[in-house]
A and B are shown apart, each in its own frame.
Chain A
Amino acid sequence: MATEAEEIRGIGHRVRRKEDDRFIRGAGNYIDDIHLPGMLHMAILRSPFAHAKINSVDGSRAQELEGVIAVVTGELMAQHNLAWMPTLSGDTEAVLATDKVRFQGQEVAAVIATDPYIAKDALELIDVDYDPLGVVINPEQAAAADAPLIRDEKEGQADNHIYHWESGDKEATDAAFAQADRVVSLDTFYPRSHPSPLETCGCLADVNPATGQATIYMTSQAPQLIRTVFALVAGLPEEKIRIVSPDIGGGFGNKVPVYPGYVVATAASLLLGHPVKWIEDRTENLISTGFARDFWMHGEVALKEDGTMTGLRVSLDADEGAFYADAQPSKFKVGLFHIVSGSYDLPAAHVVADGYYTNKAPGGVAYRCSFRVTEASYMIERLVQNAAYEIGMDPADFRKKNFIEKDQFPYKSATGFEYDSGDYHGAMELALEKVGYEQLRKEQAEAREQGRLIGIGLASFTEVVGAGPHKDYDILGIKMNDGAELRVHPTGKAHLKISSQTQGQGHETTFAQIVAEELGIQPEDIKVTHGDSDDTPYGLGTYASRSTPTVGAATAMVSRKLADKARKLAAHLLEVSEEDVELAKGRFTVKGAPDKAVTIQDVAFAAYTNFPDGMEAGLEGVAYYDPPNLTFPFGTYAVVVEVDADTGQWKVNRMVAVDDCGVRINPMVVEGQIHGGLCEGFGIAAMEQITFDEEGNCIGANFLDYLLPTAWETPRFELGETVTPSPHHPIGAKGVGESATVGSPAAFVNAVIDALWPLGVRNIDMPLTSAKVWEAIQAAKAGAAAG
């Protein structure tokens, strides 16, 4: 029976990733790697105009090109009632344009051909007659009385306004401001950026005309959800739809929505009886798929003379693009933006948001943002630094004075969140110690005397992840429960099937570690299946850092279900009563007689060979987790920069990131997630931006214009951790994937503003390009000279 067991590599172990074995051999299986017999290729014709009436779409010349099988127009899609589709935000979105185009890059027609080169050639042979219309590229233009009406096809839509939404207590907030000693405000624009996973979006739709079975391989972060959406939208029987997310080359929220290309390829496969593959090129990805941010924000904070914050007011205009297609499941119009009170004990807060249609691509919730927590965290962390300076306090001291105290958790925020746990002072103190804050301030003062511009920026963010509890979260009415199914085989090896899907997060390893912790089966002995809607339990997918909070919980729960049965089996084998059996690290021992033991492998074998009378055979189960609350990761980031006053260039000298995401399942993987998020946060702060000219032409339509950080520009990151478990999560974990993109942009910008504050610079909107920093310095100097 039991022998001395090797250490179980469960929670807290830096287990090397199982999935890496295929990736390092070039043997991953990404969407474009999949080939099916008889497969055809699709390419999409997109609008060159941001806003134009379509008079006609003529595919006859394209149809004549050798190798072209079909030209699909909006008119053809309309015949099948598929020219429009619903969005996840309750709006509609054009699949292929029929009446007019509403943003540059919008899908107008598609070509199906025997070869991808021919399909692209044929796009040039499609004749579209457009009448260009007036263009709207920001909320201010959208709200103008004489603005062109973008959504003229929507009944009752008389202007470009989409929603008005409020959160918090206006009366209490107004009272706080009325009694304030000081009010500090900040207007800042969080520009449009793009997640740009290295792999673009695509699909391979395979509808079998004989059986009606539709298998759709898709770059999707939520395959089970997409299956249901396809069933509801297209009226297909759900059991005949199989969505498979193969290996995904990065997602960051870009691969949550249903894109027109998926729908057209599926319809084409159905009509033609052949598999149809569609793979975007990079420009298509940048100009038409889920973008991020584009928030025009005004924030103000009410202060007492001693630096205590007593109220917060934020108003914002959201640029939603041509269709309101935010991929977010909350009942709140701007996602979880109302977490904007952040890490601070603010007795009163009020948020007002207005959304507008513009002639830009739709899909505003993406890019590692936890449903708009990025914008909220940026606002409050910029505001507290400016407030500290205005009132004459050090920004670290100002934060510490206003933090929610450790003993205030669970903490009810002024906008209605119940923060589960936190130790904001602890994370802050560690970050200050690691970066050498006091010494840095001295060095900064000395540098200033020499005319050098050193800046130190902090951000003490609070994240909110793990959507979500039933009362506030659902997608098309489907509540956000996620599942895990676990089967232990007779030899003691196991198979875990999970409803979330990985785009690089390492689920095949980390979720196996949760089972390892609970049952004592080594992670390499546990196969993890995900991403295939036919072979995994139901769930709503991987985004907004929700996998660990939801599926991690379900995995622990199903493991515990099996442990309960295993304990009965162990009692049977050990010939003692169940109450006398203890399980630890895969060994079942008898209380008081630790030498008398069986292993999980012994028990698993018995489950199929030697189980007690009246017990069902097997050792397997399924669990669905219904999150009672969200989880609230947090941390403090500290950035040190030096700005060259003559050129506006700035360089990061230090970047310290202290994260608290509760219990860390695999510290190596967690650190990797933080590294990646910090790099993307740096990119957003320094260079990533999508803009539009007055005609609505997208600038940032390729990687020559949309700049991403390379290894050369990217700072070196120094990490630290504190651990404050979530009290309501089965293993105390909180989720970490987006903490660094939520927290870090403000830290980088605060550092540059800190360097320039004595010159009079109060704000520079991201990205902080050298040109913008230089202009801000010049403007401040000119202002000082004039003043």
Chain B
Amino acid sequence: MEITVKVNGADRTADVEPRMLLAHLIREQFGLTGTHMGCDTTSCGACTVLLDGKPVKSCTVFGVQADGREVTTVEGLMQDGQLHPIQAAFKEEHGLQCGFCTPGMMLTGSVLLAEHPNPTDEQVRWAISGQICRCTGYMNIVNAIQAAGRTMSESKQDAEASVA
């Protein structure tokens, strides 16, 4: 089947088998290998991407289900050559070790922050509770997401101040 998916802002077409998983479509056809596969059973969340702005586990979505829709992967987090605040915060707060879960964690974190700019520890933990990290014990992932929230709130205030 031929499908068209808007990936990180650009339309991409592909001819795929109906059974091809979205994760494989992204990795193999679109060549975006920042999306990782960890478990095949929707348990670990390493394959998390945003489908129309919402986190989904791309190992349990067919590629054809993304036809005509918008997909954001970790490669789409940077804007105008600048790191997204959540990317900077993951480095600054040591929110990653092996890096395998990191793309999914950052994407979910970015969606959480859009809804809750200053989330509590519990809010962050609930938001990422569908994703597994084997390295960090989550402490610094939570710290990183909260730190990114503070950065984004500050820059928003700065922007508003400069407009005023």
Contacts and interface: CB of A to CB of B under 8 A. Distances in A.
Q: For the complex, would chain A's binding face be called helix, strand, loop or mixed by DSSP majority?
A: loop
Contacts of A22: 99
Contact of B41 (A671, A676, A703, A712): A703
B106 interface: yes
A651 to B, nearest CB: 14
A710 B131 contact: yes
Interface string A192-210: 0000111110000000000
Interface string B77-118: 110000100011011101011111111001000000000000
Contacts of A714: 125, 137-138
Contacts, number: 169
Interface in B57-87: 73-75, 77-78, 83, 87
A481 to B, nearest CB: 27
Nearest to A702: B41
A252 B98 CA distance: 11
B137 A24 contact: no
B134 A676 contact: yes
A153 B1 CA distance: 52
Contacts of A17: 91, 94
Nearest to A286: B39
A249 B39 CA distance: 13
A212 interface: no
A79 B128 CA distance: 51
A676 to B, nearest CB: 5
Given A197-B134, A711-B142, A24 B96 contact: yes
Given A33-B33, A704-B41, A712 B94 contact: no
Contact of B96 (A23, A679, A708, A712): A23
B132 A703 contact: yes
A506 interface: yes
B92 A504 contact: no
Interface string B112-136: 0000000001001110111111111
A532 interface: no
Given A25-B75, A26-B34, A27-B34, A199 B98 contact: yes
A23 B99 contact: yes
A24 B134 contact: no
A742 to B, nearest CB: 15
A198 B132 contact: yes
Contacts of A482: none
Contacts of B34: 25-28
Interface residues of A, number: 54
A711 B125 contact: yes
B33 A708 contact: no
Contact of A703 (B35, B39, B74, B90): B39
A21 B27 CA distance: 20
B134 A250 contact: yes
Given A679-B138, A708-B132, A711-B142, A282 B98 contact: no
A33 B75 CA distance: 14
Contact of B78 (A25, A199, A505): A25
Given A250-B100, A250-B134, A281-B40, A25 B141 contact: no
B43 interface: yes
A25 B102 CA distance: 9
Contact of B98 (A248, A675, A702, A703): A248
A20 B35 contact: no
Nearest to A718: B139
For B20, B133, B141, which residue has the most chain A Cβ atoms within 10 angstroms? B133
Interface string A12-49: 00001101111111111010110000000000000000
A281 B88 CA distance: 32
B74 A25 contact: yes
A672 B99 contact: no
A545 to B, nearest CB: 15
Contacts of A16: 91-92, 94
B134 A26 contact: no
Contacts of A249: 36, 38, 98-100
Nearest to B126: A712
B38 A24 contact: no
Contacts of A678: 137
Nearest to A740: B137
Contact of B46 (A198, A506, A708): A198
Interface string A664-693: 000011011101111110000000000000
Contact of A20 (B90, B132, B136): B90
A669 B94 contact: yes
A247 interface: yes
A712 B129 contact: yes
B1 to A, nearest CB: 15
Contacts of A608: none
B140 interface: yes
Nearest to B140: A672
Contacts of A675: 136-140
B154 interface: no
B15 interface: no
A409 interface: no
A589 interface: no
A580 B73 CA distance: 59
Contact of B100 (A30, A117, A669): A30
A504 B75 CA distance: 21
A186 B91 CA distance: 45
Contact of B38 (A28, A33, A198, A671): A198
A427 B74 CA distance: 42
Contact of A672 (B88, B97, B142): B97
Nearest to B20: A117
Nearest to B34: A26
A676 B38 contact: no
Nearest to A19: B99
B99 A282 contact: no
B94 A676 contact: no
A389 interface: no
Contacts of A19: 99
B97 A703 contact: no
Nearest to A503: B98
A710 B131 CA distance: 7
A23 B131 CA distance: 17
Given A16-B94, A676-B135, A708-B134, A26 B33 contact: yes
Nearest to A681: B137
Contact of A711 (B37, B40, B99, B129): B129
A197 B98 contact: yes
A710 B129 contact: yes
B132 A710 contact: yes
B150 to A, nearest CB: 17
Given A16-B91, A26-B34, A711 B124 contact: yes
Interface in B18-59: 19-20, 27, 32-41, 43-44, 46
B11 interface: no
For B20, B75, B97, B106, which residue has the most chain A Cβ atoms within 10 angstroms? B97
Contacts of B88: 24
B128 A711 contact: yes
A26 B103 contact: yes
Contacts of B96: 20, 23-24, 504
B41 A282 contact: yes
Contacts of B126: 711-712
A668 B94 CA distance: 7
8 contacts: A16-B92, A17-B94, A28-B99, A198-B38, A198-B46, A200-B38, A704-B41, A714-B125
Given A24-B91, A504-B99, 17 more contacts: A23-B102, A24-B87, A24-B88, A24-B96, A25-B83, A26-B35, A198-B101, A281-B40, A503-B98, A504-B98, A676-B135, A703-B132, A708-B134, A710-B129, A710-B132, A711-B126, A711-B138
The 6 closest A-B pairs by CB, nearest first: A26-B34, A504-B98, A23-B99, A249-B100, A679-B137, A26-B74
Interface of A: 16-17, 19-28, 30, 32-33, 117, 196-200, 247-250, 252, 281-283, 503-506, 668-669, 671-673, 675-680, 702-704, 708, 710-712, 714, 716-717
